[in-house]
Amino acid sequence: MRQFMLPDLGEGLEEAEIVTWYVNEGDHVVTDQPLLSVETDKAVVEIPSPTNGRIAHVFGANGDIVKVGMPLVEFAEGAEQDTGTIVGELGSGEHSPAAGILSERPTGQQPRVFPAVRALARKLDVDLESVEATGPDGTITRSDVERAAKNLSQTGRAEPLRGMRRAMAQRMTAAHAQVVPATVTDEADIDDWLTGEDVTIRLVRAIAAACKAEPALNAWYSSAAGERRLIERVDLGIAVDTEGGLIVPVLRNVAARSVSDLRAGLDRLRADSIARSIPAEELRGATVTLSNFGMIGGRFANLIIVPPQVAIIGAGRISQQPVAHQGHPALRRVLPLSLTFDHRVVTGGEAARFMVALKSDLELKS
């Protein structure tokens, strides 16, 4: 028997969630025929067969989490091997240590509990590892289990994070551990804009101008190597809010594109993101990111930087504010701006100069 393992998915991704199987055990498949689709970091990807042959066994069910290098399918003897993707070979009577259940709940330290209390927990469907023990020497009592059951009945059952939310939790945890964030804020007076001005495209072009004025924020930083890479081209990540979570497709080379081209590209990326049909390569390689959260609500924010980027810009809700204009108080439209930067590699002066350039470009008349 020969096994086909989950291949490397790129960008350091170590696992994927099985979404749909397209084949069953006993089916004969041909090279490049889709075997299954898996959900990676914010994208659903089809995995094709690397070879012709009959499928003897499939590993995992919809919803299972599969690690890179774990088996997906086992081909019957005689399958034509693709040495680039088929790995491992099992002899007769042997079993893969990774076969079987591909996802199981990690277990922590077992609590101290008497058999009668354990039976009560089973009856009430209470996970003992989530119960706070109040008995002597950390023992879980009957009252502890009953209290936990009451809380569960009021809050609903816990559900494991799946798909995009699972990826978000992992990325945010990594960002929190790696980045040293600092935030500066300001407001741009945009009252001189023409009616119907495309706010997002103005922001995109202003970010490109600010990156030219202060290149230190359009960069990647490798903490492992201690190396910073300044990037001349601005490939802007645009945060898109979808029903399943936040997706950040990349609008390429924004400084060199016209307004109409930027709008067409952004519309396409947004539509593909919402439809969950965006190719994985469209989610990679951003040099700096924009979150236009003000379209939903809020003024300022401490944003999250996803390495290797070193900066993210936030645009808050536009509102009328009393400001000084030409030496007199006036009620004018104001756009709140937030800039979060990685203070390991970006100085406060560089961040402030970037914000000045961003604000100045936004305050230009249409």
Please tell me the distance from the alpha carbon of residue 216 to that of residue 208, in angstroms, as a whole number. Answer: 13
Does residue 243 share a domain with residue 197?
A: yes
Q: How far apart are CA 85 and CA 74, in angstroms?
A: 12
**φ, ψ dihedrals at 31, nearest 5°:** -55, 135
Domain end marker among 58, 89, 120: 89
User: What string of pLDDT tens digits covers the 366 residues of the chain?
Assistant: 689 999 876 656 778 889 999 999 999 999 888 999 888 765 778 888 988 999 999 999 998 999 888 999 999 876 544 433 333 333 333 333 222 222 233 344 456 777 678 888 888 888 888 888 887 777 888 888 988 888 887 776 678 888 888 888 888 888 899 999 999 999 999 999 999 999 999 999 999 999 999 999 999 999 989 999 999 999 999 999 988 788 999 999 999 999 999 999 999 999 999 988 898 899 999 999 999 999 999 999 999 999 999 999 999 999 999 999 889 999 999 999 999 999 999 999 999 999 999 999 999 987
**Structurally, how many domains does the chain consist of?**
3
Q: Do residue 127 and residue 233 come from a single domain?
A: no
Task: Give backbone dihedrals phi and psi of 187, rounded to 5 degrees, phi first.
Answer: -135, 140
Closest CA to 207 of 176, 229, 239: 239
At residue 141, what are phi and psi to the nearest 5 degrees? -100, 170
Residue 231: count other Cβ atoms within 10 Å of its Cβ. Answer: 15
> DSSP string spanning 140-194?
EPHHHHHHHHHHHHHH-------HHHHHHHHHHHHHHHH--EEEEEEEEE-TTSP
Q: Are residues 283 and 330 in the same domain?
A: yes
The CATH number assigned to the domain holding 172 equals 3.30.559.10
Number of residues that make up the chain: 366
- Determine the pLDDT at residue 104: 32
Task: Tokens for 314, please give them.
Answer: 């936030």
Are 207 and 280 in a shared domain? Answer: yes
Here the tokens at position 329 are: 């108080």
Same domain, 180 and 36: no
Contact 184, 339 (CB under 8 A): yes
DSSP secondary-structure letter at 108? -
Whether 231 contacts 220, CB under 8 Å: yes
Question: Is-contact 243 185, C-beta < 8 A?
Answer: no
Do 241 and 317 fall within a single domain? yes
CB of 321 closer than 8 Å to CB of 334? yes
Question: b/e map of 323-338 (b: 16 or more CB within 10 Å)?
Answer: eeeeeeeeeeebbbbb
User: At 141, which CATH number?
Assistant: 4.10.320.10
Measured CA to CA, the distance from residue 242 to residue 37 in angstroms comes to: 20
**pLDDT value, residue 11:** 58
**Which residue range is the domain that position 132 belongs to?**
112-155
Same domain, yes or no, for 184 and 321?
yes
Q: State whether residue 210 is helix, strand or coil.
A: helix
DSSP assigned state of 121: H
What is the helix, strand, coil percentage profile of the chain, to 5?
A: 30, 30, 40
Contact indicator for 289, 312 with CB cutoff of 8 Å: yes
| Domain co-membership, 191 together with 83 | no
Nearest one of 277, 240, 269, 271 to 46, comparing CA atoms? 277
Question: Does one domain contain both 137 and 229?
Answer: no
Domain boundary among 120, 136, 155: 155
- Say if 97 falls within a structural domain: no
> Strand 65-67 relative to strand 34-39: parallel, antiparallel, unpaired?
unpaired
196 and 245 share one domain: yes
186 plus 299 within the same structural domain: yes
Structure pTM? 0.66
